[in-house]
Structure 1
């Protein structure tokens, strides 16, 4: 009888949920259909006015939703396929928002070099704007004097070669800790991806914030940010329907994340303000920013929320992309035993039986650098880079690009273009030996960190971690897969593309 009563209660609850869903749908249709109709009429009117413009070719689209129905997991792959049909510049419509997608070297060069200033702006993205303290960071903020000042501070004071070298001890200590953990597995199966993620988190936490915050609170904030970035946001695709984000609950989650992030960085800054002054060589990045704020010799007032935005960028982007690149590199080496063996031989020659390979040795490891370059070619951390926005009308490859257009550069597709790269889908580090091509933004065939004014300023900071960690992993251990199963290379979806499944391995100390 109790079972029957529970079943009836469950059925009534289920019925109420259905009624509630039905009511919400009716409310949505009642309020949204007139707006959708008005949008369609205005869109037709504006399209007729712009018909004389020579816009890039565009795939067929559905009313209102545009090409959204064509975008599944792996947007960079879908857009690559469109480029093969429609050409190097394609006009797609994500909802009511038109977006230009560039998928060739010439198009990338025009956007990031020839017309770099025109395309130096960022479009408004609701989630990122909220989380980055109203767009006061470097990566996602609007182009202007504030951005220029923050970029200058980052390049000169936070990410210079001298500053990067000052954190060598931090890298060495965290690397030694990871190696000790691997040795402690006693050749049993363990999650190597998790250890690498912890290392990158700890290194960047200590360098940027001065310590590792207990309870992985910072990592939890990053995970929530990445999750919300991957969620569908009406404001980004249907600006007139931004109110729908309240109904879906997204806006509430964004507000909560923004509040939690703000409170966390308030605590971090307050701790730094109240701590005793230490040795200048032991300064972390928050210390440096607070010193610049106090000095104010440039005439630019560095507000507290700007400090938060800069540190947020350095932590989130640094942790996520550095870990991602290392994880893909390890996976590729496990899939390519010949390449692994060649890298181990280089490490053995350079290490000469010493306990560890040091950062002083890295200049003598060209194959290591080639392995990482090839990893970044095949697995661009952010395949579509960060979207740009034009600030005035401009011509690209003969096409008219209106002011305010969003632009995406499919760096992933360009880096796999068979017209540029021989055996473009194969992992071949040798292509970068005796080759001056680099990832610093001067070669538009290969821009894993972007290029021009909006290129990533933290390349050196990230790559020194990648190099020293990978060099010592292959120097210290032989890795094997449990059951000799192949490495699963399935991708996740998002601004940064990770591997979907962790690397599970056994590690045997090398003689």
Structure 2
């Protein structure tokens, strides 16, 4: 058998790694310049093309790559079966992306804000995470917000219909941002703030846009670790610091107003918004709740927006997919496309569409990363403790040896019968591995609101498809660029016509 060093990516994935022979870290392939490691190659792509950098690492070096920069040991792993080993060893108090948000810690220290438990480590993180996830993380708790989210999605659709009736210009990007902000606030604060209908205040609009911009700046700094040396020298950090302080004030106000408005509510818990449920449990100090909610806002708005944007853009580009989804929506939900908790599991095409979007126009190449406290053997190499283990999937999911016609958008490839048909092929079936199917990560530090975000996206896709025919305007072109996640640049114009 060839050594892991000499295998092509597809060959390595086909054969797997039995652990019989583990090569040293120094033998791992990758761009290794003296002293600086992969830094020259990393910088040659620029931040806007980071997704292409990691995709090319897969093509050039295979399923595991030494991408260390300066004194920061980094390993990029593309085999989801090997990722499982990482999650199995992450321990009681795992360290990942959230615990590496150094810019947030710096702002909190400078301005006297309390640190969010979600960005902490050790027992502080564990207690905070347990308190915050009880009312949002499980399928049962996430789907308990189905009614307010569906109602908010209807308001989004109604707001767009009013604009079209008045023959107002429709900004596709703005529609997506407002839609996500409304369904998110419906679940978290108990009602949509009215972004889609022009009812949100200017302060509230700055809050939503500021949250998304803050995450974009965070990602920029995370992927450019040299900024840690002197943060204030970079406009990126200075803008982040200013936005953070502004958001803190608005978040505190919104949380306090929501809790006050429900102080006399004695109905079922399922009818309470998220922040009130958490507050009533009393497991977090009252004076830190708003800061925890801000962390959820920062993570929730931006990620959900990017996933929704690519799904809607693919529906606009590919009429066959839009019509197939519309037929399923009408059959399962009816023309109103009104979701209920029991209907979420009855829409295989909608789920296949979202899965194909995640493969075809992946919002984020990076699933997640982890730091382990012990050495681990991955893809036939020893990875020392403390190494940043980055789990990337775009290269694998666009590899023609694994995916038939990867440049074509085919939601049908993820319908249950198609998945079943390739189960006997260990290589082709790898794209169905559970750890490849979501942009929201896995493990103990996976996105807290992943299931809520999925429900929000499904609801909005159903409502938009039932209510409109939409398509990309003629003569549109764009390129994929890295921001927080990958986005089309410029955002194309999409034409909506009410049905």
Place the TM-score, normalised by the shorter chain, in its bin.
Answer: 0.7 to 0.9
In structure 2, what is the Cα distance between the partners aligned to 1:447 and 1:391?
Answer: 26
**Counterpart of 2:146?**
168
| One of 196, 211, 218 as aligned partner of 1:229 | 218
| One of 158, 174, 177 as aligned partner of 1:180 | 158
After superposition, the C-alpha distances for 1:92-134 in whole angstroms (9 at most, x for unaligned) are 2334422111122333232234x34399313533224346866
Structure 2 alignment gaps of length 5 or more: 1-22, 194-199, 424-428
* Aligned 1:124-139 pairs, distance under 5 A: 124-130=100-106, 136-138=116-118
User: Does residue 32 of structure 2 align to residue 60 of structure 1?
Assistant: yes
**Counterpart of 2:246?**
260
**Does structure 2 retain, via aligned residues, the 8 Å contact 1:118–1:390?**
no
Alpha-carbon shift at residue 432 of structure 1 (Å): 1.2
After superposition, the C-alpha distances for 1:209-262 in whole angstroms (9 at most, x for unaligned) are 3453632132132143134225457993375xx2x3233355544443343333
| One of 77, 80, 98 as aligned partner of 1:105 | 80
**Counterpart of 1:209?**
189
**Does structure 2 retain, via aligned residues, the 8 Å contact 1:137–1:312?**
no
TM-score scaled by length of structure 1: 0.76
Give the direction of change, closer, same or farther, for the CA distance of 1:463–1:341 in structure 2 (3 Å limit): same
CA RMSD of aligned residues (A): 3.3
After superposition, the C-alpha distances for 1:386-407 in whole angstroms (9 at most, x for unaligned) are 4321222332233222222112
In structure 2, what is the Cα distance between the partners aligned to 1:128 and 1:204?
Answer: 23
**Counterpart of 1:285?**
274
Alpha-carbon shift at residue 64 of structure 1 (Å): 4.2
| One of 449, 452, 455 as aligned partner of 1:458 | 449
| One of 141, 159, 163 as aligned partner of 2:120 | 141
Give the direction of change, closer, same or farther, for the CA distance of 1:374–1:84 in structure 2 (3 Å limit): same
| One of 206, 231, 236 as aligned partner of 1:245 | 231
Alpha-carbon shift at residue 52 of structure 1 (Å): 7.5
**Counterpart of 2:464?**
473
| 3-state SS, counterpart of residue 389 of structure 2 | strand
After superposition, the C-alpha distances for 1:282-308 in whole angstroms (9 at most, x for unaligned) are 422222222222xx5xxxxx2357534
Larger mean CA deviation between 189-198 and 367-376 belongs to 189-198
**Does structure 2 retain, via aligned residues, the 8 Å contact 1:98–1:405?**
yes
Alpha-carbon shift at residue 198 of structure 1 (Å): 0.6
| One of 434, 443, 457 as aligned partner of 2:434 | 443
**Does structure 2 retain, via aligned residues, the 8 Å contact 1:370–1:432?**
yes
TM-score scaled by length of structure 2: 0.78
**Counterpart of 1:404?**
386
Alpha-carbon shift at residue 479 of structure 1 (Å): 1.8
In structure 2, what is the Cα distance between the partners aligned to 1:461 and 1:189?
Answer: 31
| One of 286, 298, 311 as aligned partner of 1:329 | 311
| One of 314, 331, 353 as aligned partner of 1:371 | 353
User: Does residue 292 of structure 2 align to residue 310 of structure 1?
Assistant: yes
Alpha-carbon shift at residue 200 of structure 1 (Å): 1.2
| One of 171, 191, 199 as aligned partner of 1:191 | 171
| 3-state SS, counterpart of residue 427 of structure 1 | coil
In structure 1, what is the Cα distance between the partners aligned to 2:466 and 2:259?
Answer: 42
**Does structure 2 retain, via aligned residues, the 8 Å contact 1:111–1:119?**
no
Give the direction of change, closer, same or farther, for the CA distance of 1:485–1:350 in structure 2 (3 Å limit): farther
Alpha-carbon shift at residue 208 of structure 1 (Å): 1.5
**Does structure 1 retain, via aligned residues, the 8 Å contact 2:51–2:482?**
no
| 3-state SS, counterpart of residue 388 of structure 1 | strand
In structure 2, what is the Cα distance between the partners aligned to 1:162 and 1:234?
Answer: 35
Give the direction of change, closer, same or farther, for the CA distance of 1:347–1:94 in structure 2 (3 Å limit): same
| 3-state SS, counterpart of residue 95 of structure 2 | coil
In structure 1, what is the Cα distance between the partners aligned to 2:59 and 2:50?
Answer: 14
**Counterpart of 1:78?**
53
**Counterpart of 2:324?**
342
Give the direction of change, closer, same or farther, for the CA distance of 1:391–1:191 in structure 2 (3 Å limit): same
* Aligned 1:349-388 pairs, distance under 5 A: 349-352=331-334, 354-359=335-340, 361-388=343-370
In structure 2, what is the Cα distance between the partners aligned to 1:152 and 1:134?
Answer: 18
Larger mean CA deviation between 398-407 and 53-62 belongs to 53-62
In structure 2, what is the Cα distance between the partners aligned to 1:427 and 1:126?
Answer: 38
**Counterpart of 1:7?**
none
Larger Cα-atom Rg: 1
**Does structure 2 retain, via aligned residues, the 8 Å contact 1:192–1:502?**
yes
After superposition, the C-alpha distances for 1:345-383 in whole angstroms (9 at most, x for unaligned) are 33333455x444433544443212211121122233332
In structure 2, what is the Cα distance between the partners aligned to 1:319 and 1:366?
Answer: 25
| 3-state SS, counterpart of residue 65 of structure 2 | strand
The number of residue pairs the alignment matches comes to 443
**Counterpart of 2:373?**
391
Alpha-carbon shift at residue 447 of structure 1 (Å): 4.3
In structure 1, what is the Cα distance between the partners aligned to 2:224 and 2:50?
Answer: 19
**Counterpart of 2:4?**
none
Alpha-carbon shift at residue 201 of structure 1 (Å): 0.4
User: Does residue 483 of structure 2 align to residue 494 of structure 1?
Assistant: yes
| 3-state SS, counterpart of residue 74 of structure 2 | strand
* Aligned 1:412-427 pairs, distance under 5 A: 412-427=394-409
